[in-house]
Structure 1
């Protein structure tokens, strides 16, 4: 149901959800890549990365045998920072050349980095649940070498990696508020909640608190995004749910498949792209990411 989002001026009255690609097994990690003017995403079980070109309406294979990549973010230099379940690392794709950024903490391997954001200073923040080492078709069997699931901060300048959030059961999607003062993290455990933390000095997360809880029928939150007005957009089992900065639910976009992740893109940044199970969807909005 999109009526409330229309009333709030977030969607136009004639906005319609369209499926622009299908044929994936589990579509994830959408990112608008400005240099290519394309939407890039992963099909994790098929171990490939695809791109959608809105100018032609066609999708193409970008890379295969990619070791089960998942979430990705744009770095300040235009390169793509992405999470690899298979290699248990965060890595950089620069024009098809892929190199490791971080794969360990305190001398042990990461679990399977899932989602990632890059802050205004170029520091990389990522979640590290264990899906890539516990779920068939999403990586390779393995063990949790540090015995938990954390949110990490990696500073490329110093090479230092720090565990900044340790109180979430299954940290998944994450997003900063527009001014970078708050970090939102989705917990895909049975808690079904989204938590928010105050970011201090660009390095520490304090005062963790509940932001929102998804209803049981909506399933679990996964990927999340914040728009230009600090509204939070969350994936769910029934579609995309939009929250105000105070956690009030503003409305939703119903999607006929379980939503994994979402991002804003297009020429003016107002198109919302949604990866949902087998498909890639798009809907025009009146806001930007």
Structure 2
């Protein structure tokens, strides 16, 4: 049965080709305080996500249900996997980006820039050259609810690239109010980055920008890709066709590569983030406030970690 309050809204006929009329949204779990950062482990066939205020990470396994993946997660937020299958996480409490080795050892990737502590890393992606790109707004240091209240040492909110070979951290975007979710296009020629500055600034940004990726190192030609209404583009992922599936206030919004809103998957809670998973990567997992939802769709997620 479909989860109560869920459904589809067709805005452009092209959306019909991206959804399955006989597939319904399922509620897999409730009981989170703020579900975020879903990541699918295809090799193990399970989903991991952050429950930020509860300072834990959870795991869902098909037919087995939900268990605690990591207690005292340092208020982890966004998660992804690198090309070697290692978990990469943004820890708001530790104000750092970490990588979990196969033996469970947690390695610090970045926790400072030019001698100053990062704010509270939020979301993260890994490129094919093993570089790690992440956003660093101040949400985790605004209060003790999702981290530890503190002043920003850097005094700004940047988007960073960590080079896997030199281990150097560089700023790739410095003109965001609150950089948040980010994701590469399937061919990595473009990087999409959300600005959710509207959370703390009246009439602030609530859009996704897209940049050209130059030589896999720098960003250029930034422009607004889509304005999100209602809500914010807290987190998003792309499918193999280049469509953007993003969080919003009333569910998941799907945009074409040209930035046209095609349709919505209506969810009765504010959505924070999504990821594609399952053996065929054609199941969309939705982290929405207190719950995790899932729905099979008519397109596969881009083949990224």
Q: Normalising by the residue count of structure 2, what TM-score does the alignment of the two structures yield?
A: 0.91
User: What does 1:1-289 align with in structure 2 at a 5 Å threshold?
Assistant: 1-4=7-10, 8-54=16-62, 56-95=63-102, 96-190=104-198, 191-215=205-229, 218-289=230-301
| Alpha-carbon displacement from aligned partner over 1:141-180 (angstroms, at most 9, x marks no partner) | 1111110101000012101100001111110000001111
Task: Compute the displacement of 1:36 (Å).
Answer: 2.1
Q: Secondary structure of 1:259's partner?
A: coil
Task: Compute the displacement of 1:6 (Å).
Answer: 7.8
Q: Count residues with an aligned counterpart.
A: 286
Structure 2 contact 9–266 (Cα < 8 Å) conserved: no
Structure 1 contact 6–12 (Cα < 8 Å) conserved: no
> Aligned partners of 1:108 and 1:82: how far apart in 2?
20
Q: Unpaired runs of 5+ in structure 1?
A: none
Structure 2 contact 238–245 (Cα < 8 Å) conserved: yes
> Aligned partners of 1:147 and 1:182: how far apart in 2?
27
> Aligned partners of 1:112 and 1:153: how far apart in 2?
15
Structure 2 contact 40–47 (Cα < 8 Å) conserved: yes
Q: Secondary structure of 2:141's partner?
A: helix
Structure 1 contact 181–199 (Cα < 8 Å) conserved: yes
> Aligned partners of 2:255 and 2:14: how far apart in 1?
14
Relative to structure 1, the CA distance from residue 93 to residue 188 in structure 2 (aligned partners, 3 Å threshold; closer, same or farther) is same
Tell which deviates more after alignment, 133-142 or 244-253: 133-142
Task: Compute the displacement of 1:93 (Å).
Answer: 1.4
Relative to structure 1, the CA distance from residue 78 to residue 7 in structure 2 (aligned partners, 3 Å threshold; closer, same or farther) is closer
| Alpha-carbon displacement from aligned partner over 1:221-240 (angstroms, at most 9, x marks no partner) | 10011110000111011100
Q: Normalising by the residue count of structure 1, what TM-score does the alignment of the two structures yield?
A: 0.96
> Aligned partners of 1:63 and 1:73: how far apart in 2?
15
Q: CA RMSD in A?
A: 1.2
| Alpha-carbon displacement from aligned partner over 1:98-152 (angstroms, at most 9, x marks no partner) | 1211111111110000000000110000000011111331001111111010100
Write out the 4+ residue segments of structure 1 that deviate beyond 2 Å after TM superposition: 3-8, 94-97
